[in-house]
């Protein structure tokens, strides 16, 4: 059969033979893109140093992962870009004047202890950036709660170099000196790098929702719960000089809840996989954020609330998956019916 | 939708319908055809001819009494040169009848349009025609059209969705063979006493939708409706189609007939219409030939049993070194190990890819994003299947309803970590079947 020049030994694999172009790396790059507005606003408020902090944290996080992989003789996983995202998110939750070496300690904790030791991306039980931030907060409490005034605040003639965050002022009983809602929306106030400018966060968040990287369920339920909780609380315990609605909006715009809701709570790995679970999880985040703000000894509790719900995630997944919507329920009903029928017959 | 979605989930897999505008070209009779004796999901056929025997076009060369089977007919006239056992596209061993064509295409004089007087007569004609589900499942049509609860069947759905990327052979059938589609539908509806008919077509084939609407109006047929579907994957899957059109849920293992429905592929239906007119059994097939490694992408009408190599030669040969050849679409089609493989009845495409497109993507860790669940038409959770399969936990897999999976491949497609989830689903289903046959009763 000389004329039959057949091609044998082709690649044989299971279907499907097409895959999406949206891989893990592109997903992470989308998140990094979404963080750009917040990073730019941090430079607008505090100058060049925040940019160094953000880029430094990204580089150091990637380096930590690379070195860990080298030392443990594991394949290099840095190309999925998740370390860059962790570094950027961690940096954006830090105060503008934090010494960079402290930030690097946070990065190392995030990447090596919280992520790599658990088996790398996808296996960590808590959001690395959140834990990194909490470790820094507990280790370097003074530096982590020193809030440099923004350039605009100093231009407006405030005394000294540092002040309190709006939630800190509320916590200290100085509600009358908190900034107005417009200032909060624009972010001209004391706070962490990325958390102050709500408009920039929303721009990034909407970008992620439109490109379908994140589902809007978690941010909306998180912030909705927080708002409703605050509104009801201030109806019962009124704050002097403001109505409950104002206070609820104030809580929404102050602190790190909006940033956390869009960028930390939506982390795939540490949030539930089903929509039902996501709703429970996000409601828990909102609830515990307000519990910590109102009843505990910290003025802000978004990071603790998200961490707490992170570790609840396996439990939420377990119960939501077992009570699965759709065919499983229908199949169970059918089985039951079939059993009854055979029992009767 | 934020908190609820009425439509079943689907994915955007791309269309690549490059050949939609190319009319079917009839391929010259190849020098040799090789016909598999197991072209349907039932038992393989017994060979009815001997080596050296002269056969005519349409002559029965294989048949069996086993259930779920249909006869196999010679697609060319000529001499049986050998009866050999070869590895088939599924990976199993199979008997093939090889016929050297004499180029005359002499028809078997016994082939006549069937004379049908009652429903059993119609079913018998369907069996004799050798027709199996041409959408891909190869389920014998005569079995499908002969449900136990015939009296309950009131609706015929003809599936022209063609949601697989690249494939346009059903689209060409609709444009070139629309009258036969309608005749076939009318025949099936007549003998099964079904009142309503639907022709489901994805809305990226507007010309086919228009064509059928016009034809139905011209012929004054009011009980058949064209049902446009969103052009997303996998709207053409039987169970998805049923829910889209009727709102009825169809779990795996439930026959559509028990819901009062018969679902047929559009090309199968067109064949029914044609067969009732000329009595020529299923011996040729319209297929889409496409992919970056073939020189001319087009639709080809080829005899069953033609080798992929011959079909590619008709399409101008290979443009590049082929690395992967698919029988069927890229989402559910089968990768074959050689271009010696021959065309079978339920083939609707031959796709040939070079190394640029035939890569196996590198797998990375699950990031728990849930896209596999969001893309699953049946709200299943493939990532949980993968965990349970890793633990070889058949009980857990069954609880997670893995048997509902229809292997559409959407989960693998959307996975950003490129995990072979659909493959794991298949293995999981096999594991559950094995466990239930070992442990049950």
Task: Quote the CA–CA distance of A301 and A289 in Å, as a whole number.
Answer: 5
B409 and A13 within 8 Å at the Cβ level: the answer is: no
Are B339 and A6 an interchain contact pair (Cβ–Cβ within 8 Å)? Answer: yes
Of the candidates B358, B324, B224, B313, the one whose C-alpha atom is nearest the C-alpha of residue B32 is: B313
Whether the per-residue pLDDT at A4 is higher than 70: the answer is: no
Euclidean distance between CA atoms A276 and B206, whole angstroms: 38
Residue B157 CA to residue B246 CA, distance in Å, equals 10
Strand, helix or coil for residue A336:
helix
Closest CA to A218 of A269, A281, A148, A132: A281
Interface contact A11, partner B, CB < 8 A: yes
Is A157 near chain B, with CB under 8 Å? no
Q: Which fold has domain A24-144+163-316?
A: Ammonium transporter fold (1.10.3430)
Answer whether A16 sits within 8 Å of B332, measured CB to CB. yes
Return the CATH superfamily for domain B119-278: NADH-ubiquinone oxidoreductase 51kDa subunit (3.40.50.11540)
DSSP assigned state of A211: T
- Beta carbons of B330 and A325 less than 8 Å apart: no
Domain span(s) for CATH 3.40.50.11540 in chain B: 119-278
More confident residue, A217 or B6: A217
Question: In the prediction, which pLDDT does B6 show?
Answer: 61
Contact B339 A327 (CB under 8 A): no
Q: How far is B184 from chain A (nearest CA, A)?
A: 32
Distance from CA of A218 to the nearest CA of B (A): 11
Query: Partners of B86 in the beta sheet?
Result: B94
Smallest CA–CA distance, residue A56 to chain B, in Å, is: 25
- pLDDT for residue A282: 97
In the predicted model, what is the mean pLDDT of residues A262-266? 97
A220-224, A241-245, B265-269, range with the lowest pLDDT: A241-245
Q: How buried is residue B435: exposed, middle or buried, by Cβ count under 10 Å (0-12/13-18/19+)? A: middle
Q: Mind listing the pLDDT tens digit for each residue in A184-235?
A: 999 999 999 999 999 999 999 999 999 999 999 999 999 999 999 999 999 9
Would you give the end-to-end CA distance of chain B in angstroms?
45
Residue of B82, B45, B29 lying closest to B303 (CA atoms) = B29
CA distance A260 to A302: 7
* pLDDT for residue A345: 40
Residue A280 has pLDDT above 90, yes or no: yes
Say what the pLDDT of residue A139 is: 96
Q: Tell whether the model's pLDDT for residue B112 goes beyond 80.
A: yes
Instruction: List the domain boundaries for chain A.
Output: 24-144+163-316
Q: Exposed, middle or buried by CB within 10 Å (0-12, 13-18, 19+), for B68?
A: middle
Quick one: what percent of chain B has pLDDT higher than 90? 76
The band of A329, judged by pLDDT with boundaries at 50, 70 and 90, is: low
Residue in A314, A178, A316 with CA at minimum distance from that of residue A246: A178
pLDDT tens per residue, range A7-53? 888 888 898 999 988 999 999 999 999 999 999 999 999 999 999 99
Q: Do B325 and A4 touch (CB under 8 A)?
A: no
A200 contacts A40 by C-beta, under 8 angstroms: yes
pLDDT over threshold 60, residue A344: no
What residue in A sits closest to B383 (Cα-Cα)?
A273
Range with the lowest mean pLDDT among A170-184, A322-336, B38-52? A322-336
Q: What percentage of chain B exceeds 70 in pLDDT?
A: 98
Answer whether 0.80 is exceeded by the pTM.
yes
**Tokens, residue A22:** 């949206």
Query: By the 8 A CB rule, do B30 and B343 touch?
Result: no
Which pLDDT tens digit goes with each residue over B139-153? 899 999 999 898 899
Tell me what percent of chain A is helix, strand and coil, each rounded to the nearest 5. 65, 0, 35
pLDDT at residue A240 in the model = 84
Looking at this predicted complex, what is its ipTM? 0.86
For residue B92, pLDDT over 50 is answered with yes
What does the pLDDT average to over B173-178? 95
Instruction: Provide mean pLDDT across the span A63-89.
Output: 95
Neighbours of A205 (CB within 10 A): 23
């Amino acid at each position: 059969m000389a004329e039959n020049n057949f091609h044998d030994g082709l690649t044989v694999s299971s279907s499907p033979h097409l895959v999406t172009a949206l891989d893990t790396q592109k997903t992470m790059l989308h998140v990094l893109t979404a963080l750009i507005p917040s990073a730019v606003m941090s430079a607008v408020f505090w100058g060049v140093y925040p940019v160094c902090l953000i880029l430094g944290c990204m580089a150091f996080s990637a380096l930590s992962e690379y070195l860990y992989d080298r030392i443990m003789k594991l394949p290099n996983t840095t190309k999925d870009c998740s370390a860059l995202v962790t570094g950027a998110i961690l940096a954006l939750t830090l105060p503008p004047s934090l010494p960079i070496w402290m930030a690097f300690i946070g990065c190392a904790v995030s990447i090596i202890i919280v992520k790599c030791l658990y088996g790398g991306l996808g296996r960590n039980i808590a959001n690395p950036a959140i834990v990194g931030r909490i470790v820094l907060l507990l280790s370097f409490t003074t530096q982590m709660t020193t809030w440099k005034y923004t350039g605009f605040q100093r231009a407006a003639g405030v005394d000294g170099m540092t002040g309190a965050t709006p939630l800190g002022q509320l916590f200290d009983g100085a509600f009358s000196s908190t900034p107005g809602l417009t200032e909060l929306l624009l972010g001209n106030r004391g706070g962490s790098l990325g958390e102050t400018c709500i408009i920039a966060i929303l721009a990034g968040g909407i970008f992620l929702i439109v490109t379908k990287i994140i589902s809007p369920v978690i941010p909306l339920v998180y912030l909705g719960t927080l708002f409703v909780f605050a509104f009801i609380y201030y109806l019962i315990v009124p704050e002097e000089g403001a109505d409950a609605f104002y206070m609820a909006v104030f809580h929404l715009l102050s602190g790190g809840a909006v940033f956390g809701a869009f960028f930390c709570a939506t982390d795939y790995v540490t949030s539930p996989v089903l929509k039902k679970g996501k709703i429970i999880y996000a409601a828990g985040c909102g609830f515990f954020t307000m519990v910590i703000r109102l009843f505990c000894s910290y003025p802000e509790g978004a990071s603790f609330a998200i961490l707490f719900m992170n570790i609840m995630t396996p439990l939420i997944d377990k119960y939501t998956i077992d009570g699965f919507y759709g065919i499983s329920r229908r199949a169970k009903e059918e089985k039951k019916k079939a059993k009854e029928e055979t029992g009767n017959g | 939708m934020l908190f609820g979605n009425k439509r079943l989930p689907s994915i955007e897999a791309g269309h690549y319908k490059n050949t939609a505008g190319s009319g079917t070209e009839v391929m010259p009779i190849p020098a040799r055809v090789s016909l598999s004796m197991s072209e349907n999901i039932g038992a393989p056929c017994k060979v009815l001819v001997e080596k050296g025997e002269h056969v005519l076009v349409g002559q029965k060369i294989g048949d069996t009494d086993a259930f779920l089977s249909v006869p196999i007919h010679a697609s060319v006239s000529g001499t049986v040169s050998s009866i050999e056992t070869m590895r088939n596209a599924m990976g199993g061993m199979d008997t093939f009848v090889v016929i050297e064509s004499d180029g005359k295409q002499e028809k078997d004089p016994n082939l006549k349009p069937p004379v049908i007087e009652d429903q059993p007569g119609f079913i018998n004609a369907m069996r004799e025609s050798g027709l199996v589900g041409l959408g891909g499942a190869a389920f014998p049509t005569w079995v499908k059209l002969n449900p136990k609860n015939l009296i309950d069947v009131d609706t015929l759905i003809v599936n022209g969705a063609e949601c697989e990327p690249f494939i346009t052979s059903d689209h060409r059938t609709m444009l070139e063979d629309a009258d036969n589609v309608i005749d076939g539908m009318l025949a099936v509806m007549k003998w099964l006493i079904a009142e309503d008919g639907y022709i489901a077509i994805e809305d990226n084939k507007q010309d086919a939708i228009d064509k059928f609407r016009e034809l139905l109006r011209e012929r004054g047929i009011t009980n058949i409706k064209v049902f446009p579907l969103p052009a997303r994957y996998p709207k053409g899957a039987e169970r998805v189609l049923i829910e889209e059109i009727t709102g009825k849920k169809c779990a795996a293992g439930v026959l559509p007939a028990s819901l009062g429905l018969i679902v047929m592929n559009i090309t199968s239906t067109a064949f029914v219409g044609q067969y009732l007119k000329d009595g020529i059994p299923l011996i040729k097939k319209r297929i889409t030939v496409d992919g970056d490694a073939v020189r001319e992408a087009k639709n080809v009408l080829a005899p069953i049993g033609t080798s992929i190599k011959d079909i590619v030669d008709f399409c101008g040969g290979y443009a590049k070194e082929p690395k992967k050849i698919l029988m069927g679409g890229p989402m559910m089609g089968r990768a074959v190990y050689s271009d010696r493989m021959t065309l079978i009845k339920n083939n609707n495409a031959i796709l040939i890819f070079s190394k640029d497109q035939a890569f196996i993507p590198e797998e990375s860790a699950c990031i728990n994003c849930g896209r596999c669940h969001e893309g699953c038409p049946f709200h299943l959770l493939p990532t949980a299947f993968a965990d349970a399969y890793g633990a070889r936990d058949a009980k857990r897999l069954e609880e997670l309803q893995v048997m509902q999976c229809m292997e559409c491949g959407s989960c693998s497609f959307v996975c950003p970590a490129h995990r072979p989830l659909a493959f794991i689903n298949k293995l999981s289903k096999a594991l559950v079947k094995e466990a239930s046959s070992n442990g049950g009763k």
